[in-house]
Amino acid sequence: QVQLVESGGGLVQAGGSLRLSCAASGVSLIRSAMAWFRQAPGKEREFVAAISQRTGSQPYADSVKGRFAISKDNAKKTVFLQMNNLKPEDTAVYYCAAGERVIMSQLGSQSAYDHWGQGTQVTVSS
């Protein structure tokens, strides 16, 4: 059974940093594309960042480029999202997702991922 458990969320002031973690079990990080999505209050869930299992490619949403960085530790089966220079508009619930059949063109597509975590709240105050 696949489980993805996010942690590291919290309250931070604008300009601050947080590092989110996603502990995975029942899934291989070597064979799976991993991604972070987020959902702000009253908005649709949106893509943040992903890492391809085939090429290591790491696409990012335009809104987070240069501020966020995704990485993973295959041995520890953990995916990270380092978030720097946080802004109030980054406030959202952040979700980790995994999928073994995700192709390059689908890395930013929610429907391509089979497994999801419960999410961790990130709140950025101004």
**Residue 56 pLDDT:** 85
Please tell me the predicted confidence (pLDDT) of residue 55: 85
Give the per-residue pLDDT at 92.
Answer: 98
Contact 69, 56 (CB under 8 A): no
Strands 33-39 and 18-25: unpaired
Beta pairing, strands 10-13 & 120-125: parallel
- In angstroms, rounded to a whole number, what is the distance separating the alpha carbons of residues 114 and 22? 15
Contacts of 44 (CB under 8 A, 6+ apart): none
**Run means of pLDDT, 10 residues per run, the chain, 126 residues:** 97 98 95 97 97 91 98 96 98 97 95 97 97
